[in-house]
Every structure is written in structure tokens, then in C-alpha cells.
């Protein structure tokens, strides 16, 4: 059990199951500040996709605008990427996923990009349950425009300039739960062990997976008085449970004491294991999730883990009942009705 | 009167009536007639004939209350005339309201096929107490007015022929059901008019059958209502012999359709796969009909759809989805009106700069801001031509008829993929929502264009060496790959920030300049592929017209008026797309004066044309119609005569 919870797989091989090396998942060189939380997340994304043996060519990366939104250029070079406009990644990603529902979509956004300018699109995307991963690299500030507060900044949090935020923070996890999202998690860039398993679980999820990751901005929000820096986050992180992930092909017998671990089977046959810590948290209940998030806020905890999980929720693609083939490349015979069809339409108009 | 003061007076009159929610016809008419007739005596419509009836040339104007269900009666009336073989058009002038406010429907039947809006009303049907007075006051002397008895229209003036009808009583004889009675009331006036102007009973039945899709239960009461009206006209109204509809054969094999439905059909046969929209008048019916047609014709045997339609949360999202889908290789489109276009500005710049296909229909309405949401204009020309910040230029297709709506719908999807850029199609409320007669649409035989896409096989041939933004063919159009292409070198990174030919981030001066210069070159290339103008050059014509979109209907009629009434021969250049093609300069060069006629205040297209022309721009004169109603021929004729004087 412990090894499962640590890495999610047994010893990672040099080549994954589709014969690719970890280097096949690398991206371009990052231009972010040294130590930026966003880079730590990119590293875990590379590792998760590599270890899950996802073909990079089948992945499409999306982002908005911000330091965080630059990162798709820094991981998985062999995947198509699209750095869209500020706050509008959800629409672009939605269109692309409709055009080709076989793509595995991963979106990276920032707290500014998602919680302010892009809040409307984010909410509608969650509501539609577009089957892709949506990561918010949450640092409580606008990094790229030099450190103004974002809408996720905690009350009382202080900028380097001494300005104090006295507005209530927006909790994107709570919002996602409220909008019916089937996979909601919060991670911390400084906790790669947890992050990797959250990411793997999100890859296995068929539906929208919202992952809010506290990702310190070392340049503008990592000082005394900031509430999203490394030290503050470490001090206040509260784990809901320990997360493990077992791929479908792994015949790992995990033994654990009865009642201590919850197993959730995903569509692809993989399993998410949630090991109980102090509290007995039920990730399947949205109400419990909202209550717990609320309490965390009141008590100043940085709550991390799989906040809510419901693998059964139908995705937008299946609701639209589109053909199993890719819309983008359907041949003309299938997209242009026959001559008789036009003749009939014309006749009805005569 | 000096021209400038005339123009100001005209403008002030127009703004004057815009203060009313719904301009009574009269004030609009007066603004033309009283102001312009003082300039030249020929402005009057040729006097109506003496005894001999006017055959197959009449305008019927029906005033009702929005939400009273008059739509189907008006359609039946229009269709019966159509089935008599007489060219006809139907225009709905409606408020931005669901029920209660005034609405008008105008049917123009004309044996010569002139179906643009005409100002003079021959037969008025007054059913609305709110507007009856103004409606009657706006009529020309000698017009026929059929009115609902309680309105007592005859008291308003005495130079009109009045036919009073006790609609409530007649409807009461048909049914005790008060809701149905309201609907049938409208059908009664159809029967009365049919009887008075000589529409065959059998054609009305045909039209009813069409309107109610053969549903006997719905047809039955309506037949009775029409009988009731006809019977009443025969027994209780004097006969009239001034306007007659007689059978002719100019509509056989033709269809009646609105431009939005035509565009929807065109897009479906053009192979559209992803459609997004956000409701807005006058564009909603485009995507709504498209959804209906797609459901009928694009669901496969296994019950699965070969399309995806999303009602987006706003136009920003709608166009974002279109670009996302276009990026991933789908033929994608959305449809909106001016306010939506304004919201799309940032995304359109991304589409232009990152080179992503997508089609945006703009069914223009009157702006700025919310403007007159249910009235027509051509005021979005500048906006779509140059939308977004930085140096941007867009390809714009401008249909003038329902059949061009059909053709351009797939043409736009082709051009979007060929040029990897957002394509606008500029229609308007008049074309999009009103009923037009047309030849049936021709099935597109040519295969669709999917543009320069490198497949897995091509990439293997190239040893994976390619550059997303490299101009390898010298036409400014680069090659692209689609996400999901199974080749290790297929991917590239798309961004709206500066990039080099390999799609790498770049802020280098030379990379930026090369990129925007290539985009310019691409736009130049487009000149060879956009629809050519329709040019009609007449021997010896000194005057040329340039117009586009729905102005065409009035313009052709105005040319006819100028020729038949004043022996003035004119040439005509009907613009069908931006960028301008080489034909534009030639046309202007071969004429002394060129009137650009359009439906906006500033002469937006006229300005773009001037910019294009250089020296010859001094030849350009503007004729501008911007009152929210479709342009009419007499207006153009009068304006040209005024400026020629
Ligand atoms: C329409 C628009 N407005 C403003 C900006 C400027 N801008 C760029 S990034 C950004 C905020 C980014 O913050 P966040 O999403 O939190 O990303 P971070 O840099 O913190 O990772 C803003 C306001 C923009 N690019 N576009
Ligand atoms: S400014 Fe902040 S968010 Fe941006 S790269 Fe630097 S550390 Fe990261
Ligand atoms: Mg941020």
C-alpha cells in the first residue's frame, strides 16, 4: 500500500508501456522565475502522462494568459498546444474537444485567468462537463502583470508593498462542486507525492477534472504576510486523505486494514485509493465537500486532496450524442446530405 | 433649399421620429416626400391609372398587435399571391417585444419582379387601435383602407376609400372559443382581400395547406374563416376594381424562404460540423433553422449526429468555441448580430494572427449599442472589415439574396479553411428574416476545400521537417497540422503572441514584421478567391452605382426608374466580398460619377472604397439610407437626381 500511495506505480521503468521515454514528454525550456510553483506542476504533469503511458500526440494542451498559462509550452512538446486569450481557454478547449473528442485535453490556467476575467467561461465549462483536465495554478496574485491581488487572495493576505486584501476569497473547488463537477481536487506544488496521484486520477476520469493547485509565486507572493507562499502553505496544509492510484494493468494486491481505505473504480478499470487519515472524509458527497471546504476556510486550513469524486456523471460529448468518429475529419459523404435531401427541402418551400 | 440644410432637416426629421418607440409610417414618408419633393418635380410616383385596374402591382400593409398570431395569416396571403404566379415579397416590421406592441407586415406583389420595400401603400389593413390613426394618416390619397369597425378609421380623413369590417362579430359567428377567435380574425381579412383583389380560392387553400403542413384539424377552422371573409366582402362591401391580382407564370418552380434559413441549408450542405451560437435578433433563426435541418438530415442510421451544436453562454464563448473547433480541424461557424460582433473582437484578432479558420455570420441590425434591435441596417461594415486591435483585415462575404446566403454559407467554410482565418458573412435583418422568392438552390457538386493540412503521411514524406508559419508556396498561406495527428513532429504551439515560422515565441523585430507582412500577402491572395462582384456596365453610362447586400433590390428598381422615367442609363457594380478585387478600380475609372448606396449613416463602404481608389476617389458620392427600414427605390432615384441636378 505504501508504495502505491507514494508513487502510484511500482518502480517507474525507463520506457513506458508504449515505448516512450520520459524525455518524450518534455517541453521547451521554462522562462518562469526559478522556484516558481508552476514549474513544479509542469514536472508532475510530464511524469503523470509518461507513467500513465498516454501518447503525447493524442493530447491537446490549452491555456489562457498569465505565467501559469505559459506552461503548456514547457511540457509535452509532442502535443499540440494552444495559448489562447486571457480567461477564454474554456471556450477554445470546448470547441476543440467537440471537433475531436478523442483528444485528451489538459488546460492550465491561473487564478487571475480563471477566477476573474474567465470566471464565466470556467463555470459554464464545468457545468457542461467537458471531458478534460483543468488545472488552476493558484498563487493568489497576477504574476505576469507584476503581483496585483487576484480573486483567490485570502482575506488579510499582504502584498510586498504592504497592501492588505480585505475582500473575501473565491474558492474554486467549492464553486466546481456546486456546479456539479465530478472530479474536484486541491493540490500543492510543494507536495509532488500527492500531486502525481491527483493527476493520474484526473487522467483516468471521464469528465471534467478541476484541480486547484496552490502554486507559490516566488517573486510576488512568497513573503512574510502572504498566505500562498511555500512556508505558509506547508504550515497550513491539511490532508483530507492519502491518495493512491493503481492502473488497470497493475495486478497489485494492496492489503490494508478494513475500513481504512476507500477504493473507487474508474471507467478505464484503474482504481483510486483514498486512505483515511484523522477524519473520515466521504469524497462522494458534494454536500460534505462544501461543508468541509467552508470549515477549512474558517479555520485557516489549506485543505488538499480529492475533494469530490463522481465518476458516473455524463460528459457533454455523450449528451450531444455525436458520432464515434472524429467530427473534424468526417468525409464529405457523411457531412453533405444527398441531392435528394436538398430536392425535398426545396419542394417543401415551393 | 440648399443641399446641406436639406440633409440636416431630413436627418432631424428622422431622429425626431426615432424618439417614438415605433415610427408611424407617416413621419417617415413625410421626411422623404415633403423634403425631397421640393427639390424636383419628378419625385412623385407616376400617377395611378384612371379606370383601368392596376394588375399585379400592389402593396398591402397590415397593421396588427404583436403576438396576435397574424404571422400565419400574412404568410397565407403572401403565398396565395405567389401561387397565382405573381412575384412577391413579405416584410415583417416588428418590435423588440413578445406581445402587445404594434407590428406591421408588408406584402409587395409586382409583375416585373420588383420586390424591394416600397413606400406607397395601396391596401392598408388596420387591426391595431394603437396605430390606426397614424397608419391612416400616412396613406396616399386614393388608397384603400380595410379596418376593424371599432377603430372608426373613416372619421380620420375623407380622401381614402374605407371598407369597414365588423371583425369581432364575424369571428364570433365562427367559434365560441375566444383564443381561436383572435387567430381566426386575422384569417378573415385574408378572405376579404382575396375576394377584393381576385385571388383564386384554390390557391388560398394551397397556401393554407402549406402553412399548416397539411394538418386538417388546423386547416379546417381557417378555411371557414376565409370563407367568412370572402362571403362578407361579396355581400356587404362594394367591389373594387382598382387593384387586381391576375394569374401569371413568373413564380412556377420558385421557392419562398428567408435568408437565415437559406444560410442554414447552405451551411448544412457545406459540411459544417460544429455550430455555436448565442441568441440575438435577427440572427437566432439562422442557428435555430440549422438545428432543425441538421436533426433531419445529419443524424446517421445509428442515431448519432455528424454535428455538434452548442448554445454558448455569450458571443465571446461562441466565437471561442468556433476557433477551438476550427483549430482542431472542424468546419465551424456561429451567427450573431452587431452587439455579438463587438464582444468577439479580441478573439477575432487571435484567429487572424494565429491563423485559425472559423465562420461568423453577422445578421446586421440597427446600432450602435442595442440600437433598434428589430430593424435593418448595413452598419457593421467597418467593424467586421477591421475587427480587433493591431493591424487586422478580414475576408468578408456579402450576400444579396437568399440564394447567395445558401452559396456563401459553404463558400465561407471553404475560404476559412483555405485561408486559415476567420471569415465574416455580412447579411442583415431584411435579408435574414424576411421572405424572399428565389429559384431553388443548386446542389453543390464541387467537393469542399479543406485547405493546407499536413497529414501523418505527408509529415513522414517531409521527414517531419515543416514550419507552421512558413510561406513555402509563396501565397502567404502556411501549412498546418491538426491536433491528434499521429506523428512525433506533427505538433506545434499556437499562440496569439509573437511567433516565428516554426511557431516559436518571438519578439524579434524581423520575425514580427515578416509575420504581419505575410498575413498581408495572404490577404492579397484572397482577392483571387473571394466571390467576384456582379458588374453590369451599360454603353454610354456616365453614372455608376456601387451597392451590396439587400440594397440590391431597391437599386435595380431605381436604375429602372432612372432609365424609364428620365432616360438615364446607369452601370452597376454589386460588391460581393472584401477584399476589393481589381474590377473595382476599372469600374470607377470608366464612369464619371459613382454613387455608393448603402444603409448606414456614415457611408462606411464608400469610405473603404475611397481609400482603395487613390485619384479616382473624387468620383465617389454617397447615397445613404438609414432609418431602420429597408431601402426603397424611390429614395435612391430621388437622391441621385438631387445630386445630379
Ligand atoms: C484582455 C486582457 N486583459 C489583461 C491582460 C493582462 N494580463 C496578463 S496575465 C494577467 C493576469 C494573470 O494572472 P494569473 O492568471 O493568476 O496568472 P499568473 O501569472 O499569476 O500565473 C493579466 C491581467 C491580458 N493579457 N488580456
Ligand atoms: S512572477 Fe510569479 S508566477 Fe510568474 S513566473 Fe515568476 S514566480 Fe512564477
Ligand atoms: Mg496567479
Instruction: Examine residue B24 and state whether it is found in any structural domain, yes or no.
Output: no
Q: Are both B125 and B199 inside the same structural domain? A: yes
Q: Are both B516 and B558 inside the same structural domain? A: no
Q: Are both B358 and B486 inside the same structural domain? A: no
- CA distances for A345 relative to B364, B402, B613, angstroms: 26, 14, 44
d(CA B194, CA B191): 5
Percent pLDDT > 90 in chain B is 88
d(CA B59, CA B107): 6
Cβ contact, residue pair B306, A92, below 8 Å: no
Instruction: Please check whether residue B270 touches A, CB under 8 A.
Output: yes
Task: Locate the chain A residue with the closest alpha carbon to B272.
Answer: A335
- pLDDT recorded at residue A259: 82
- pLDDT recorded at residue B68: 83
Distance A110 CA to ligand 1 centre (A): 8
Q: Are both B288 and B404 inside the same structural domain? A: yes
CB B111 within 8 A of CB B245: no
Angle between helices B551-566 and B633-644 (to 10 degrees): 60
Selected for mutation to probe chain B from A82, A95, A103, A104 (highest B CB count within 10 Å) is A95
Q: What is the pLDDT of residues B420-477, one digit of tens each?
A: 999 999 999 999 999 999 999 999 999 999 999 999 999 999 999 999 999 999 999 9
Is residue B116 predicted with pLDDT exceeding 90? Answer: yes
Please state, as a whole number, how many other Cβ atoms lie within 10 Å of the Cβ of residue B625: 23
Range of the domain at B480: 452-530
Does the domain at A11-329 match CATH 2.30.29.30? Answer given as: no
Question: Does an H or E element contain A37, and which?
Answer: helix A37-51
Q: Are both B572 and B516 inside the same structural domain? A: no
Is residue A262 predicted with pLDDT exceeding 60? Answer: yes
Of A70-74, B32-36, B139-143, B254-258, the one with minimum mean pLDDT is B32-36
Q: Are both B277 and B425 inside the same structural domain? A: yes
Q: Are both B475 and B501 inside the same structural domain? A: yes
Distance from CA of A254 to the nearest CA of B (A): 36
Boundary (domain end) residue, out of B198, B229, B251: B251
- pLDDT recorded at residue B100: 85
CB A35 within 8 A of CB A209: no
Cβ contact, residue pair B274, A99, below 8 Å: yes
Distance A91 CA to ligand 3 centre (A): 20
Q: Are both B216 and B282 inside the same structural domain? A: no
- Residues having CB closer than 6 A to ligand 2 are A 32-33, 36, 38, 67, 139, 143-144, 217-220
Grid cell for residue B255: 421557392
Instruction: Examine residue B462 and state whether it is found in any structural domain, yes or no.
Output: yes
The ipTM value here is 0.96
Q: Are both B112 and B218 inside the same structural domain? A: yes
Whether the predicted model's global pTM rises above the 0.90 cut: yes
Averaged pLDDT, B596-604: 98
Averaged pLDDT, B337-349: 98
Distance from CA of A167 to the nearest CA of B (A): 27
Instruction: Examine residue B25 and state whether it is found in any structural domain, yes or no.
Output: no
Instruction: Examine residue B40 and state whether it is found in any structural domain, yes or no.
Output: no
Selected for mutation to probe chain A from B80, B297, B320, B359 (highest A CB count within 10 Å) is B320
Instruction: Please check whether residue B259 touches A, CB under 8 A.
Output: no
Number of domains in chain B: 4
> Number of A:B CB contacts under 8 A?
218
Instruction: Please check whether residue B450 touches A, CB under 8 A.
Output: no
- B143 contact partners, CB below 8 Å, separation of at least 6: B120, B121, B122, B123, B124, B160, B161
- pLDDT recorded at residue A129: 98
CATH of the domain at B169: 3.40.920.10
CB A275 within 8 A of CB A260: yes
Boundary (domain end) residue, out of B251, B275, B305: B251
Q: Are both B188 and B271 inside the same structural domain? A: no
Instruction: Examine residue B412 and state whether it is found in any structural domain, yes or no.
Output: yes
Q: What is the pLDDT of residues A305-320, one digit of tens each?
A: 999 999 999 999 999 9
- B577 contact partners, CB below 8 Å, separation of at least 6: B395, B396, B397, B398, B530, B531, B533
Q: Are both B377 and B308 inside the same structural domain? A: yes
Distance A141 CA to ligand 1 centre (A): 10
The full set of domain ranges for chain A reads 11-329
- pLDDT recorded at residue B10: 31
Amino acid at each position: 500500500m505504501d508504495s502505491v500511495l507514494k508513487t502510484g506505480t511500482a518502480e517507474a521503468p525507463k520506457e513506458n508501456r508504449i515505448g516512450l521515454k520520459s524525455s518524450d514528454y518534455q517541453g521547451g525550456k521554462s522562462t518562469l522565475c526559478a522556484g516558481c510553483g508552476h514549474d513544479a506542476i509542469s514536472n508532475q504533469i510530464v511524469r503523470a502522462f509518461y507513467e500513465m503511458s498516454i501518447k503525447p500526440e493524442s493530447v491537446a494542451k490549452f491555456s489562457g494568459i498569465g505565467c501559469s498559462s505559459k506552461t503548456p509550452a514547457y511540457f509535452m512538446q509532442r502535443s499540440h498546444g494552444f495559448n489562447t486569450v486571457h480567461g477564454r481557454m474554456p471556450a477554445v478547449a470546448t470547441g476543440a474537444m467537440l471537433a475531436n473528442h478523442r483528444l485528451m485535453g489538459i488546460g492550465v490556467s491561473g487564478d487571475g485567468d480563471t477566477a476573474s476575467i474567465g470566471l464565466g467561461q470556467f463555470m459554464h465549462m464545468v457545468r457542461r462537463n467537458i471531458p478534460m483536465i483543468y488545472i488552476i495554478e493558484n498563487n493568489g496574485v497576477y504574476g505576469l502583470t507584476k503581483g496585483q491581488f487576484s480573486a483567490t487572495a485570502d482575506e488579510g493576505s499582504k502584498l510586498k508593498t504592504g497592501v492588505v486584501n480585505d475582500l473575501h476569497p473565491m474558492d474554486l473547488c467549492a464553486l466546481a462542486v456546486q456546479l456539479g463537477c465530478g472530479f474536484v481536487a486541491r493540490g500543492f506544488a510543494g507536495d509532488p507525492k500527492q500531486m502525481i496521484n491527483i493527476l493520474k486520477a484526473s487522467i483516468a476520469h471521464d469528465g471534467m477534472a478541476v484541480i486547484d493547485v496552490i502554486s507559490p509565486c516566488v517573486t510576488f507572493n512568497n513573503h512574510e504576510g502572504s498566505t500562498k507562499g511555500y512556508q505558509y502553505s506547508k504550515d497550513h496544509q491539511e490532508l483530507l486523505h492519502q491518495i493512491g492510484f493503481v492502473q488497470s494493468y497493475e495486478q497489485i494486491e494492496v492489503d490494508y486494514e478494513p475500513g481504512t481505505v476507500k477504493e473507487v473504480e474508474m471507467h478505464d478499470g484503474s482504481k483510486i485509493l483514498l486512505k483515511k487519515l484523522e477524519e473520515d472524509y466521504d469524497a462522494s458527497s458534494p454536500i460534505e465537500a462544501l461543508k468541509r471546504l467552508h470549515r477549512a476556510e474558517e479555520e485557516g486550513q489549506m485543505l488538499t486532496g480529492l475533494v469530490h469524486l463522481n465518476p458516473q456523471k455524463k460528459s457533454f460529448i455523450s449528451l450531444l450524442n455525436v458520432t464515434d468518429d472524429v467530427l473534424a475529419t468526417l468525409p464529405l459523404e457523411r457531412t453533405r446530405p444527398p441531392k435528394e435531401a436538398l430536392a425535398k427541402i426545396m419542394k417543401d418551400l415551393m | 433649399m440648399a443641399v446641406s440644410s436639406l440633409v440636416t432637416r431630413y436627418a432631424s426629421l428622422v431622429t425626431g421620429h426615432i424618439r417614438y418607440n415605433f415610427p408611424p409610417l407617416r413621419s417617415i414618408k413625410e421626411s422623404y416626400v415633403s423634403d425631397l419633393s421640393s427639390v424636383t418635380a419628378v419625385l412623385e410616383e407616376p400617377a395611378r391609372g384612371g379606370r383601368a385596374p392596376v394588375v399585379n402591382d400592389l402593396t398591402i400593409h397590415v397593421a396588427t398587435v404583436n403576438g396576435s398570431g397574424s404571422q400565419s395569416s400574412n404568410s397565407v396571403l403572401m403565398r396565395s399571391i405567389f401561387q397565382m404566379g405573381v412575384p412577391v415579397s413579405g416584410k415583417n416590421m416588428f418590435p423588440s417585444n413578445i406581445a402587445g406592441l404594434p407590428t406591421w407586415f408588408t406584402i409587395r406583389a409586382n409583375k416585373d419582379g420588383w420586390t424591394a420595400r416600397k413606400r406607397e401603400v395601396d391596401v392598408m389593413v388596420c387591426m391595431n387601435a394603437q396605430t390606426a390613426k397614424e397608419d391612416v394618416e400616412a396613406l396616399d390619397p386614393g388608397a384603400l383602407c380595410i379596418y376593424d369597425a371599432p377603430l372608426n378609421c373613416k372619421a380620420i380623413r375623407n380622401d381614402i376609400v374605407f371598407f369597414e369590417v365588423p371583425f369581432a362579430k364575424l369571428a364570433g359567428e365562427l367559434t365560441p372559443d375566444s383564443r381561436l377567435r383572435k387567430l381566426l380574425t386575422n384569417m378573415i381579412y385574408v378572405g376579404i382581400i382575396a375576394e377584393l383583389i381576385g385571388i383564386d380560392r384554390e390557391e388560398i387553400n394551397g397556401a393554407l395547406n402549406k402553412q399548416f403542413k397539411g394538418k386538417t384539424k388546423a386547416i379546417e377552422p381557417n378555411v371557414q374563416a376565409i370563407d367568412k371573409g370572402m362571403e362578407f366582402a361579396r355581400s356587404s362591401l362594394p367591389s373594387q376594381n382598382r387593384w387586381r391580382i391576375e394569374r401569371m407564370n413568373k413564380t412556377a418552380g420558385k421557392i419562398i424562404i428567408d435568408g437565415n434559413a437559406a444560410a442554414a441549408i447552405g451551411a448544412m450542405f457545406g459540411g459544417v460540423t460544429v455550430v455555436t451560437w448565442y441568441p440575438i435578433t435577427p440572427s437566432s433563426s439562422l442557428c435555430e433553422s440549422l438545428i432543425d435541418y441538421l436533426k433531419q438530415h445529419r443524424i446517421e442510421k445509428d442515431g448519432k449526429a455528424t454535428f455538434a451544436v452548442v448554445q454558448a453562454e455569450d458571443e465571446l464563448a461562441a466565437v471561442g468555441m468556433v476557433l477551438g473547433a476550427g483549430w482542431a480541424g472542424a468546419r465551424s461557424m456561429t451567427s450573431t448580430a452587431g452587439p455579438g460582433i463587438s464582444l468577439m473582437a479580441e478573439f477575432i484578432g487571435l484567429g487572424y494572427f494565429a491563423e485559425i479558420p472559423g465562420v461568423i455570420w453577422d445578421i446586421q441590425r440597427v446600432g450602435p449599442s442595442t440600437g433598434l434591435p428589430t430593424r435593418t441596417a448595413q452598419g457593421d461594415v467597418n467593424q467586421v472589415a477591421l475587427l480587433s486591435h493591431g493591424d487586422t483585415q478580414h475576408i468578408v462575404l456579402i450576400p444579396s439574396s437568399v440564394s447567395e446566403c445558401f452559396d456563401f454559407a459553404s463558400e465561407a467554410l471553404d475560404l476559412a479553411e483555405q485561408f486559415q482565418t476567420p471569415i465574416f458573412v455580412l447579411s442583415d435583418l431584411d435579408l435574414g428574416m424576411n421572405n424572399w422568392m428565389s429559384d431553388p438552390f443548386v446542389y453543390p457538386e464541387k467537393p469542399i476545400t479543406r485547405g493546407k493540412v499536413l497529414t501523418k503521411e505527408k509529415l513522414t514524406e517531409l521527414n517531419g521537417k515543416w514550419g507552421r508559419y512558413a510561406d513555402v508556396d509563396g501565397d502567404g498561406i502556411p501549412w498546418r497540422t491538426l491536433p491528434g495527428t499521429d506523428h512525433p513532429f506533427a505538433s506545434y504551439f499556437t499562440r496569439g503572441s509573437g511567433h516565428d515560422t516554426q511557431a516559436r515565441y518571438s519578439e524579434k523585430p524581423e520575425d514580427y514584421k515578416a509575420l504581419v507582412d505575410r498575413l498581408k500577402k495572404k490577404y492579397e491572395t484572397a482577392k483571387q478567391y473571394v466571390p467576384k462582384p456582379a458588374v453590369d456596365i451599360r454603353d454610354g453610362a456616365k453614372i455608376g452605382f456601387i451597392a451590396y447586400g439587400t440594397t440590391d433590390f431597391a437599386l435595380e428598381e431605381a436604375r429602372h426608374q432612372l432609365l424609364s422615367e428620365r432616360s438615364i442609363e446607369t452601370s452597376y457594380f454589386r460588391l460581393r466580398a472584401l477584399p476589393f478585387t481589381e474590377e473595382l478600380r476599372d469600374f470607377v475609372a470608366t464612369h464619371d460619377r459613382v454613387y455608393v448606396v448603402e444603409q448606414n449613416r456614415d457611408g462606411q463602404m464608400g469610405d473603404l472604397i475611397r481609400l482603395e481608389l487613390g485619384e479616382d476617389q473624387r468620383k465617389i458620392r454617397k447615397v445613404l439610407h438609414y432609418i431602420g427600414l429597408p431601402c426603397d427605390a424611390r429614395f435612391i432615384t430621388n437622391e441621385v437626381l438631387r445630386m445630379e441636378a
